[in-house]
Amino acid sequence: MNRDSILKDRELPKLTNEEISRYSRHILLPDVGVKGQKRLKSARVLIIGTGGLGAPLGLYLSAGGVGTIGLVDFDFVEESNLQRQVIHLNRDIGRPKVASAEERIKGINPAVKVITHNIRLTRENAKNIIEDYDVVADGTDNFQTRYMVNDACVLLGKPLVYGSIFQFEGQASVFYAKEGPCYRCLYPNPPPPGLVPSCGESGVVGVLPGIVGCIQANEVIKLITGSGESLIGRILLLDALRMKFRELKLDKEPACPVCGANPSIHELEDLDYEQFCGFKKNDAEPIENISPKELKARLDAGEPMQIIDIREPHEQTLAAFPQAKTIPLGQIARRRDEFDPKIDLVLVCKIGQRSVFAIQALREAGYPGRLLNLQDGVNGWIREVDPSLPAY
């Protein structure tokens, strides 16, 4: 059952003979045809994030003839990205991701107009960027940005094509408040900080973002051409380890604060998304960091130190931290009696973020001793102290 295109009232451009030849396999499809291909040429799609999900989105939407593609990312290509972010090449290491992504997109289809936004998306600039596009595809990897992008799309009346990945599991849906639920209807509140680790902390099978990103690209094309049945009101769940798909029905939440009957969210600027997602604490005592070099000097001097590694076991296998005791983040507060409050306690993770949550948990549990966060975590230790350990 076909639906109306989101561009149904737009005056459409002509297709050149070269374009008809290039997109002939699309045009031969009754559900796309010449009119659908014209809509793709007319469409403006914003891809937020040019990583694992953004890579297949950029490649397939450009190959399919989307006329204008916007790219939002402020990150640089790293070697560890290349396992799954197939829009970037080995030669791109160190380049801005939007630059290498633009080059690959133009290499596939020179006719596509690419607009790069090499900036961090914030509550101050999100609406100004998003309002110029017809569809937004979410390739982000953090909850703060997901909620912010969702809210901006609801306020601007834009469809949001959602995808997320974790290890071997993926999700995809379309959030469009005009016709169905939004992201907040599905997830009214974010999980506690540190509960859901990032791909950099938990790992992800390289092909998974390719599968989910292609599903997202398919949903974008369907919204633009008006073909098929979209994922509005449904969420698709993928278990790639067992190769099983499940589908859940989603309903609009009447009390949703952004798309419900009586919304309380009217401007992004009124919300602090980091605080909403628990990344800002009203903590009078700031987090005290210790640099890798300072920790090494104190250990070499024979000072008594308590070092607790809160990383997952598979991470510790990759790069064991010297003189550290292993305690998972979820157990840290209830095992506080194992520590000596008279001796400085150093918390260690991969990048120095989960260890902040561990310090906050110990403070809330009433631990009285001095707590130190290893600045930049194991990555910092490898970079500044022991480069013989493998970075991961």
The answer to whether residue 211 is domain-embedded is: yes
What's the whole-number average pLDDT of the chain?
93
pLDDT in tens, 247-256: 999 999 999 9
| Total tally of structural domains belonging to the chain | 2
The answer to whether residue 72 is domain-embedded is: yes
Same domain flag for 238 and 305 = no
Q: 206 is in which domain, residue-wise?
A: 17-276
The answer to whether residue 2 is domain-embedded is: no
| Residues identified as active-site | 199, 349
CATH number at residue 339: 3.40.250.10
Q: b/e for 27-37, b at 16 or more Cβ within 10 A?
A: beeeebeeebb
pLDDT recorded at residue 189: 87
Same domain flag for 258 and 318 = no
N- to C-terminal Cα distance for the chain? 46
Q: Is the pLDDT of residue 1 over 80?
A: no
pLDDT recorded at residue 193: 65
Q: Do the Cβ atoms of 78 and 93 come closer than 8 Å?
A: yes
pLDDT recorded at residue 203: 81
Distance in angstroms (rounded) separating the CA atoms of residues 57 and 50: 9
Antiparallel, parallel or unpaired: β 160-166 and 244-249: unpaired
The answer to whether residue 27 is domain-embedded is: yes
CATH number at residue 214: 3.40.50.720
Q: Is the pLDDT of residue 170 over 80?
A: yes
The answer to whether residue 12 is domain-embedded is: no
Distance in angstroms (rounded) separating the CA atoms of residues 191 and 142: 11
Q: Do the Cβ atoms of 74 and 136 come closer than 8 Å?
A: no
Q: Is the pLDDT of residue 184 over 90?
A: yes
Write the DSSP symbol of residue 76.
B
Nearest 5°: the CA angle 323, 327, 329 is 130
pLDDT in tens, 201-216: 678 999 999 999 999 9
342: tokens are 């008279």
Q: Do the Cβ atoms of 315 and 354 come closer than 8 Å?
A: no
Same domain flag for 77 and 161 = yes
Binning pLDDT at 50, 70 and 90, where does residue 9 land? confident
Same domain flag for 320 and 343 = yes
Q: Is the pLDDT of residue 45 over 90?
A: yes
**Lowest mean pLDDT segment, chosen from 68-72, 188-192, 235-239:** 188-192
Distance in angstroms (rounded) separating the CA atoms of residues 362 and 89: 43
Nearest-Å Rg of the Cα atoms of the chain is: 23
Q: Do the Cβ atoms of 151 and 258 come closer than 8 Å?
A: yes
Distance in angstroms (rounded) separating the CA atoms of residues 263 and 271: 14
Nearest 5°: the CA angle 205, 206, 209 is 95
Distance in angstroms (rounded) separating the CA atoms of residues 151 and 185: 11
Per the model's pLDDT, the better-predicted residue between 23 and 193 turns out to be 23
**Lowest mean pLDDT segment, chosen from 161-170, 175-184, 187-196, 331-340:** 187-196
pLDDT in tens, 314-371: 788 888 898 999 998 889 999 999 999 999 999 999 999 889 989 989 999 999 999 9
Which of 170, 161, 248 is closest to 211 using CA atoms?
A: 170
Same domain flag for 266 and 306 = no
The answer to whether residue 11 is domain-embedded is: no
Last residue of a domain, one of 220, 248, 276: 276
Same domain flag for 268 and 312 = no
pLDDT recorded at residue 346: 97
Backbone angles phi, psi at 160, to 5 degrees: -120, 120
The answer to whether residue 391 is domain-embedded is: no
Backbone angles phi, psi at 306, to 5 degrees: -105, 120
Q: Is the pLDDT of residue 200 over 80?
A: no
pLDDT recorded at residue 301: 96
pLDDT in tens, 268-327: 987 888 777 766 654 456 899 999 999 999 999 999 999 999 988 878 888 889 899 999
pTM of the model: 0.81
The answer to whether residue 8 is domain-embedded is: no
